[in-house]
Every structure is written in structure tokens, then in C-alpha cells.
Amino acid sequence: DVKVTQSSRYLVKRTGEKVFLECVQDMDHENMFWYRQDPGLGLRLIYFSYDVKMKEKGDIPEGYSVSREKKERFSLILESASTNQTSMYLCASSEGYEQFFGPGTRLTVL
Amino acid sequence: QKEVEQDPGPLSVPEGAIVSLNCTYSNSAFQYFMWYRQYSRKGPELLMYTYSSGNKEDGRFTAQVDKSSKYISLFIRDSQPSDSATYLCAMSAVGSNYKLTFGKGTLLTVNP
């Protein structure tokens, strides 16, 4: 079974802090994705990576950056957290079109 | 027009009912279609994956794709309380770098 793990289930941070969300997959997948999920807005793609060190912006990249130094690990960085970044963050990985999701990180920015 | 439309519900049915969940889409380039189930405060879990038109069955779940109408469906037979969740449709086109376009999800409650 594909396993995608995320570093924290719940996280509380202060406005202006730099926040790192980590995602690790164990299936040697080429593609990895970061989404945020908000009520009424659904899943929105922030960034994705289709190879180590290769990344592309998704639909809502503003305020975020990513890092993929190793194939199995994809990190989402909030350079200076703001209250409007309070959300559920979901990581996914895939080899083809089927994406497999992690359990999510519920981030609250105060 | 949004690329993928999905009725958010909520949908409430009695145990044992047949449930029909649907999505419509506007992009005729979509070829790959998925249904995900998401329990409260958890990540989405892949339920069904189909390519192009046709039906696919897996236990109590059947996925249908009608590309001529740009319409996909998920049927759940003999629904159980454990099926209570949000169901998300997702789809993708060739050459999209494997990006998915999601519907906003339908909240289903199956009452015992």
C-alpha cells in the first residue's frame, strides 16, 4: 500500500512565523502535490513537483514556496504565516493520474 | 462555467439505500476520472479510477463515465453508515502533468 505521511496532524503558529510542512511518501513516486482545503472552496493546488528539484506553481502559490531535495520528501514553506493561511493542508503523491493523499495537517495561524 | 461541478448536498439516505453521486464537467480533454472518499478530518482516499467512457464496478461501488454528456456518476449499493463521508470527483487530461481538477465534494450521511 502507498503510504504518504505528513509531519504533524495539528499545528498552531503565530502570524509572521516561518512554517515548514513536511510530506514523505514511500512508493518511489515521481509526482508530489500540495493542496489546501477550505470549506466551500474545495481542494486547491498550491504547488506540485514532477521530479526531484523540479517544481511548478499551482493555482494559489502566493505566500508559499516548496522544496524537494529528495524524491520521497516534499516540503511546503510558509515564509511569513498569515491568518488567511489557516487551513487544512494535504499532500499527495502519484506515479500516474491516481493520487494518494496523506492524512492532512490542520494549521491554525493566530 | 466552472470546469467541474458537483452538488455539495448534503445528501441523507437510510441504510440500505442506493446512492447516486454525480459530477458534470466542461473540459472535453478530460480522460481520467476518479472518485475519492474523505472522512471528517482525514485525507481523501481513492475509491474508483476509470479511463475514458464506460463502467467500472468494485464491490458495492460502480463508477460510470459518459463522455458524450460530460457526466460521471458513482453509485453505492446497500449503503452503510460507514459510507457517511464527503465524496469528491476528480479528473485529468493527457499532458496535464498529472494534475487533477476536483469537484467540491458531496457530503453523504447514511442513517441507521
What's the pLDDT at B31? 94
- Number of A/B CB contacts below 8 angstroms equals 51
pLDDT for A99 equals: 95
Inter-chain residue contact B104 with A48, CB threshold 8 Å: no
Q: How far is A61 from chain B (nearest CA, A)?
A: 15
Instruction: Provide the pLDDT confidence category of residue A91 given band limits of 50, 70 and 90.
Output: very high
Alpha carbon dihedral B12, B13, B14, B15, in 10-degree steps, equals -110
Which has more pLDDT, B41 or A34?
Answer: A34
Compare B53 and B4 and report the one with higher pLDDT.
B4
What pLDDT, on a 0 to 100 scale, did the predictor assign at position A98?
A: 92
pLDDT-derived band of residue A2, with 50, 70 and 90 as boundaries? low
pLDDT-derived band at A104, boundaries 50, 70, 90: very high
CB contact under 8 A, B100 and A97: yes
Find residue B20's DSSP bridge partners: B75
Nearest to A73 by CA among A88, A60, A91: A91
What's the maximum distance between 2 C-alpha atoms anywhere in chain A? 38
pLDDT at residue B58 greater than cutoff 70: yes
CA distance B11 to B93: 29
- A26-83 pLDDT tens trace: 999 999 999 999 998 999 999 999 988 889 999 999 999 999 999 999 999 999 999 9
| Residue burial B40-60, b: 16+ Cβ < 10 Å; e: rest | eebbbebbbbbeeeeeeeeee
Q: Give the pLDDT confidence score for residue B96 in this predicted structure.
A: 83
